[in-house]
Structure 1
Amino acid sequence: MSDLLDHLMATPVAAITLTLAAYVASMRLFRSVGSPGWCPPILIASLLIAVVLATLGIDHVDYRKGAGWLMFLLGPATVALGLPLYQQMPNIHALWRPLLACLPLSALLAALYAVGIAWLLNAPPEILASLAPKSVTAPIAIGITEQLGGSIPLMMGGLLITGVAAIGFVGLLSRCLGIRDERIIGLALGINGHALGTVRAFDISPTAGAFASLGMSLTGILTALLLPLSWRLPEIIG
């Protein structure tokens, strides 16, 4: 059995098949329980894959190597979000001043609060570097994590938790505060929940999805440009 698993994991076919099967199963389960916003399909699929890997004794490194082909598709998928942005350009252009004022601060806070909490808990530098890009979409976050010297598996876990938490908290706070503007809700989901929040925003409406795409994209750009520089700022000053 072990030899068979090693043979299967030597090619990307097994990892890709497992990933797609987990996704299909998670979508069916997600719809069967009423499509709850706090439990997105990617969370269910991740748990299913983790159970399968643990049950069969497959090393997560081997699985990640095989699933790397799917990771490659994250880049084009992210670029494709430019289409709804183009369709909503009149709305975005009308709000360019408040967007310009809030996005840099939002991107900064998204990176700082997790790092600040981990620093107060005396987390080692590798964990701090892994948590810093946790609000950025995966293709950008992977590159940032490598530059900072963090752990990509830990960062991916942080991405998943952040996205799920952002969906729940943005929905809860918008109801508590009486916020019904789909542009604001979408922007908050994109800034804080990256791709997972953007998917949830498109479930709300195309307008919310477009603003979530804008928030996710600009947060990713600002973080990619500024976070590595600010991370090394103490070394540069010293």
Structure 2
Amino acid sequence: MEQLLLEVAGSTLRTVPLAQLVRMQGAVELLGADAYPTFMRLGAAGRLELQPVAAGSLLIEVEHATERLGRQPVPTLTFMGEGGAVLGAMYGGHDTTEVAGSDDGQIAVTAEGIRVLLRRFPPPVGFRSEPGVARGWFVCYFSALAFGPDGAWGTRTPAMGGSGAPVALPGLPPLPPVTRWHQANVAGSPAVAAAVFTTTPAAEVFRDLIHAVTAACQDSLRLKRPLVAQIER
């Protein structure tokens, strides 16, 4: 996994997943990227060196963006175990965010719910063609997916209509391993009983990134040394 390293000589080296930075930059872009030029440059080049004055500007940008993002809801796929224990989550953005995929299926997070795309004919109950989707593929949106010994089942969103009865989902691609989750409360290979569509406040989703950038900027100002941001692959 690509990491963004934030380093000020004489202080703690901080690392955050590059994907987390990209997600927050996407959210900030909706606020108006021109107001956050330094933040939007992070990760754009292999290495960025910011003198203390520039680090101070970055600190102001991040604080302002955090305040504006506030409780803006971020589409979330929450993974749950038996008994309803929350195992972890993956976050979406303002567009479609793929969670899992195969030659015949895809699971993604969108603002409308869990988007399941299957190449199967006849399609399962409730699936339909959609503009922009290749011929032979069908789409349906769900509020929850359940996994058991008899396969995967989905509960359609109210916008998709139907009786509310679970829909069998043959050919659904497997969920990603814990190492690819954006937030995890477990390790190893836990048994996921359900994946539920929820939302999470943006400030919580980007909490670790905000803390790392803020602390690195403060170190730069305190020590009067450059802040170096670089990507590690």
Q: What's the TM-score once normalised by structure 2's chain length?
A: 0.24
Answer 1 or 2: which has greater helix percent: 1
Bigger relative contact order (CA 8 A; separation at least 6):
2
Answer 1 or 2: which has greater strand percent: 2
Larger radius of gyration: 2
